[in-house]
Structure formats: C-alpha cells, structure tokens
C-alpha cells in the first residue's frame, strides 16, 4: 500500500526535504546542501542519494511512496520543464523526467513560491480555504495564486509574481527585474527601509529611527508599536500601497483569503490590521469580505506544498 509522500524544496543554499504520511503529517524533515558547481548538475543526484538512504534507514520500500512534489526557484511549465534556474545554474530541461529516472517514483515539479502557497493552503494559514492568494513579504515580494485548490502558474510560470505589479508609474529607481515602480520596491523588507529613509528625510519631527544606523523593517514595526509617529507613517505608507494592490488582485480572482508570509509577517496582527484597513478603503464592495491571515509554516511551507503536490499524483 502507498503510505508516504515526499516534499522537496530546492533553494539556492539548501535543499529541504520532508517525509509525510498520506494525511500530510510531517514524519521527518532534513536538509542537504545545494551543490551548485558545474551548473548544478549534481543537485538531483544528491537529492536521490539522500532520499534513498533515509528510506533505507527507515525500512520504507519505494512501492510505499505515492510520489514527490518538488519546488524549484524559477518558472516551471506544467510538464516539469524549468525555463532555466539562475540561482542553481540550471539550463532549460525537464526536472520531472530527470528526477523520476533517478528516484524511480512519480514526480511533480512547481515553482517554489507557488509550492509554498500550496503548503500554506494544505496545512498552514490558508487551511480550510480553496481560493487563496499567498503574499510573501521577504527580501523581495513573492506570491502564489490558488483557485479551487489549484495553483495558477500561467503560460510561462509567471502567474503569482505579484511583487512585480506596477504600482507607481513615476518611480525613478529600477527594481531587480529591471522595470520601475514594482510593488516589491515599497513593500518588501528592503522596500520598507527605503520608505523609512525617504520619510525620515522629508519630515523634520523627532523619531527613534533617526538614532538607528542600519534601519531594518523590524525596527520600523517595533517602533510603530511603541507609537513612534514617524515609524507609524512608514507603516501607513507601506500598508496603503500593499492594501490597494491587494484590492486590485481581489477584483481579478476574488479569493477567500490573503495569507501573508515572509520575514516581514513576523510583525503579526498589527501588520494584518493595517493592510486590511487600507484594503477595505480600496476594495470593491463584493470583495470586502476577504479574510487576512498570517502564514504559519515558515520555511517548511515548501515541503508541505510538495507533499500536497505528491498527493495529487
């Protein structure tokens, strides 16, 4: 009988792996280094060796594995072809086919942001919902669109790249993607710091932020919680941009819930409340019931999403 699922999340530094039962309960998780030398050609065989030895240790025959769901950092087509993963040095090739040949179990591959969204829907902040938008506020801003339980990856895998929605046609500085005025430039951790510096320069009022040499997004949230007026202004600006962007997204796919994750989401309820306030100021009447939740799985979201993908094989 098939009793186990595998979740694999390939990142630029480490590969996270998880062994799950059929109900999606995590039984064991581990990590290996991502060996990127020679265009990442050892990554899949390292994963294979590691899984084989863990299964052997636990006396689990391959016949008992339903399959493995794999997240990769880059766009992926439905058949498992990656369109080049810059972070891993990978060219265009079919990861699904290659890993299936090595591991001898069914494989399904998806983009890492999308697979993390799937994980949050399966066992995290979006549990119980089928229509969900994941918003990851980290160094950059990522996203994942799930409609009726299915990830919408789009024709070239760029579906859910909400960080690169244009929210400001007047921006002069370039985003990492090369364009100007992307959501990520204002609402990522680095974007928040940038907003803070701009507001500090413009306003003359006193603020504890002025005494911090290298301001972080966390400083801004912490001080806003202490009622530091200038920090509160930064959060207001950040929330007004993000809330408006999410209200536009809601007009396109009208989700049950927005799940907010990434490092910035550690700011917790205060963050949710301020985003929601701005969202409601901008939302179409039929989308005002959308809920806002915090992601709960952290760095494990990818392996949980992998397990969910494997379950659908």
- Per-residue binding string, Zn ion, 241-280, x by CB under 5 A, is ----------------------------------------
175 lies in the site for Zn ion, by CB under 5 A: yes
User: Which of 177, 205, 251, 252: binder of Zn ion (CB under 5 A)?
Assistant: 177
Nearer to Zn ion, 182 or 310 (CB): 182
CB nearer to Zn ion: pick between 27 and 177: 177
Does 164 sit near Zn ion (CB under 5 A)? yes
Stretch that binds Zn ion, among 9-17, 127-135, 162-170, 300-308 (CB under 5 A): 162-170
Nearest to Zn ion of 158, 177 (CB atom): 177
Asked if residue 113 binds Zn ion (CB under 5 A), the reply is no
167 interacts with Zn ion by CB under 5 A: no
DSSP string, the chain: ---EEEEEEE-SSEEEEEEEETT--EEEEEEEE---HHHHTTHHHHHHHHHHHHHHHTT--GGGEEEEEEEESS-B-TTSEEEEETTTTEEEEEHHHHHHHHH-S-EEEEEHHHHHHHHHHHHSTTTT-SSEEEEEESSSEEEEEEETTEE---SSS-TT-GGGSB--TT--SBPTTS-BSBTHHHHSHHHHHHHHHHHHHH--S--GGGG-SS--HHHHHHHHHTT-HHHHHHHHHHHHHHHHHHHHHHHHH--SEEEEESGGGGGTHHHHHHHHHHHHHH--GGGTT-EEEE---GGGHHHHHHHHHHHT-
182 binds Zn ion (CB under 5 A): yes
Residue 158 touches Zn ion, criterion: CB under 5 A: no
Q: Which parts of this chain interact with Zn ion (CB under 5 A)?
A: 164, 175, 177, 182
């Amino acid at each position: 009988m098939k009793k186990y699922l595998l979740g694999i999340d390939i990142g630029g530094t480490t590969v996270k792996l998880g062994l799950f039962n059929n109900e999606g309960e995590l039984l064991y998780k581990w990590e290996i280094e991502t060996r990127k030398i020679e265009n990442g050609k050892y990554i899949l065989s390292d994963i294979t060796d590691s899984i084989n030895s863990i299964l052997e240790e636990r006396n689990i025959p391959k016949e008992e594995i339903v399959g493995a769901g794999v997240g990769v950092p880059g766009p992926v087509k439905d058949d498992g072809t990656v369109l080049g993963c810059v972070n891993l040095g990978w060219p265009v090739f079919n990861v699904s086919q290659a890993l299936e040949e090595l591991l001898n179990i069914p494989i399904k591959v998806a983009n890492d942001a999308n697979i993390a969204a799937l994980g949050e829907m399966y066992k995290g902040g979006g549990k119980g919902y089928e229509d969900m938008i994941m918003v990851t506020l980290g160094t950059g801003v990522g996203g994942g669109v799930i409609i009726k339980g299915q990830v919408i990856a789009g024709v070239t895998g760029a579906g859910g790249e909400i960080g690169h929605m244009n929210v400001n046609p007047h921006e002069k500085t370039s985003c990492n993607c090369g364009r100007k005025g992307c959501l990520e430039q204002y609402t990522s951790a680095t974007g928040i710091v940038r907003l803070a510096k701009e507001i500090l320069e413009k306003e003359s009022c006193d603020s504890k932020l002025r005494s911090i040499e290298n301001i972080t997004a966390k400083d801004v949230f912490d001080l806003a919680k202490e009622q530091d007026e200038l920090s509160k202004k930064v959060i207001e600006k950040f929330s007004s941009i993000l809330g408006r962007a999410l209200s536009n997204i809601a007009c396109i796919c009208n989700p049950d819930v927005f799940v907010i994750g990434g490092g910035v989401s550690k700011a917790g309820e205060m963050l949710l409340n301020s985003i929601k306030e701005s969202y409601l100021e901008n939302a179409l009447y039929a989308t005002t019931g959308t809920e806002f939740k915090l992601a709960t799985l952290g760095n494990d979201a990818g392996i949980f999403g992998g397990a969910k993908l494997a379950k659908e094989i």
